[in-house]
Chains A and B, each alone.
Chain A
Amino acid sequence: MVTATTTPHCGGPHSARPGGGRRTRITQDASGDRRGQRRPVQSPDDAPYSRPGPLSDLGSAPPPPVGPDDHVRGEGPLVVVYGDYECPYCAALEVRLQALAVQVCFRHFPVRSSHPRAQPAACAAEAAALQGAFWPMHDLLFGDQGRLEDPHLWARAERLGLDVARFDAERRSDAVTARVREQFRGGVRAGVVTTPGAFAGGRLYAGRDPELLARLDG
């Protein structure tokens, strides 16, 4: 859990939906980041988002519930995506999801041996989040997957008007690393095996499963 800053990933009041469902409303701040005004996330019927046990072991557990530290944007049915910024199928899914009326929660699932720059890129996104720019950084990372080395990350931070020195320190911090790791471990427990892994309607769609988009587009 990132605690090094007071900048929330999302924050704000909660309100319940009829029927016990929860949802999150995301607004966009001046920097372009969609943050805050948390309405809880939907869903008993959409996904088993019950709170898991401690992540000290990796036995099976439902995906962690969408909470204040998650990055969420959009309106519509909720889809929780476990992805990484070096994965071309994740980038393709991102494009498709942006064209749909869905609410996307993005979580990191970097597997270093498959995608060596996925972890640094995930930490870059989280460091940008600490300056209120998760989604802009997220979009820039997916927008140019061939450039994920450190100088490319710094260039993105500069382009977004971030404090680059702070960004660079925080992306290397234990807190940010732990946050990315926590999301990864939550995905492992929920049965995510590859990227993208997406939960929608209480089901895990692994990889390039066309049924996911068919369901969301339907």
Chain B
Amino acid sequence: MNINVALVGNPNSGKTTLFNQLTGSSQKVGNLPGVTIESKEGCVKGHKGVKVIDLPGIYSLAPYSTEEIVSRDYIIDQKPDVIINIVDATNIERNLYLTLQLLELETPLVIALNMMDEVRNNGVFIDIPRLSQALGVPVVPISASKNEGIHDLIHSAIETAGKRTVRQKIDFCTGPVHNAIHSVSHLIEEQAMEAKLPLRYAATKTVEGDDLILDRLNLHEPDIDIIQHIVDDMEFHLGTDREAAMADMRYCFIEDVCGRIITKTGESKEHLRSVKIDEILTHKYLALPIFLGIMLFIFWLTFGALGTSLSDLLGAGIDRLSDITDEALSNTNISPVLHSLIIDGVFVGVGSVMSFLPIITILFFLLSIMEDSGYIPRVAFFMDRLLRRLGLSGRSIVPLLLGFGCSVPAIMATRTLPSKRDRYMTILLVPFMSCSAKLPIYAMFTAAFFEGHKALVMFSLYITGVIVAIICALLLKSTIFSGKPVPFIMVLPNYRMPVMKSVWLRMWENIAGFIRRAFTIIFFATIVIWLLQSFDTGFNMVESSDRSMLASIGTLAVPVFAPLGFGDWRAATALITGLSAKEAVVSTFAILLNAPDSASLPLLMAEVFTPLSAFAFLIFSLLYMPCVAAMAAARREMGSILGALATVSFQTVVAWVAAFLVYNIGELIL
């Protein structure tokens, strides 16, 4: 039997952890039907045919964020067999607010009451049978991070889906709201059926004044008048308006239920601990220095001590492998063309990129820990004021920080931003945060030209990216992105120990992407470059690559880069191939300069650059348009090709101007 399960819950309720426990590694990323919002899907371990879809984390089913609309449309239109509503037991009131709205959707539902280990630890007792009775749906206590109760949850969900039991009619509304919802129910019965909307949900949303549902219902003129009258009447009796009335009614019901089923002994240990940690981490004077310290520590660990030595080790290993293969190939009677392709093309190209794997692994590991511990919302909290000056909100800090890892997930993270203006602006600025794929370029150039000042040059590049982003933000804020700042309402979740399984899964996703790129796009690009540089336009193998096809193509772009100090066809070619993936800049130089192994590549770079033009080249690489994967992500999130094209053109112009200034001012000074 095939069962489709939809996983719904508040952000930070442990939804992703539960999803990982349910599905293990059988996850697949896809888009929700009809929209560009990505969701994960997977099969439940040990239950073939039971599919889980992880819907976005939401607080309500109001139509004010894309995530909320997508989630409710998914449930109504795709009709999953059962909803697993994950509820954080340590924050039960706010979590049940969503539950009450989900109950109206007439889909079988099971509540997974998460974080029960914390609840027990704190000596709090929750009467689960009575909670289940009060809501009319099964409630299964679980602890997603400790993998407790998952088995019972799956069974309860399968059973509920099998019985197709929708909760018995239990009203959680009282007085005037009750009357209004029921009167409206009778009026709109037919229209709700025609619009394929659950009746109770349609009635509640009509009373609430939800424009999207009202449009979909397509009510008749006389009915609209009657409904208006019913709502007016309700508002008059309650002395408040329709929206406040509904929210108030739900919270009143929840407070009543919670009062009866929970015996509480004050704030939880975890919460008190969180407050204590925040006394330091969001302290008036310490917050910003600590944040800077953490960022410096992350960069030091990634690019300094640990990452570089591991990278060198892996690089040496790859060179060994290349030598062994070279020897083996020489002993066979393989054609010299194929030999050259494997050694000079594939090994040099893919190998030079693969050696950066340790650096990228460490960076993503640390960023994942920062994300899962709950620190990032705090950063958003104390950075909001600064970011607002730039026309953004504190929330933009999440995508911007992720941008140091990879622009693709960072651009996808912008969909959590509540306004289109903030989203567009953040998408535009994210690529200025130097992504980890650009690291190989910096590492190779600093080894070649700035051996004594490695750290300084690296640091100055990262800072330049941030400063350029700030200048652009200020420029855009006062021109095309002028407008009101959006509200900033954000929950600060308790700090938690990151669940290693989730950190590992997320890290693996990113590393796997990097390896996949190395063996697909970069492998392919490497072969193409090798072909283009080994043959001339008449398809004869050339002695030296400056007479090759590649040289002819690169030469066309030379005039554009000449004012920046690197009017060399090899530099131009490297920048063009860098569009497939930034690491390809390095592999392109490796091939074009005939580097025998990755260690000797920096020595050959002096053929193309002076230290000053090398620095201008680095600035250009830092800022110019992102790789195709990031461009595709930007197009998806902006929903417009033109927007994405305008964005990348803007970035490239900025890069040109910045590199031009660096080179020409440098010329004057030096």
A interacts with B: no
List residues of chain A with CB under 8 Å of any chain B CB. Answer: none
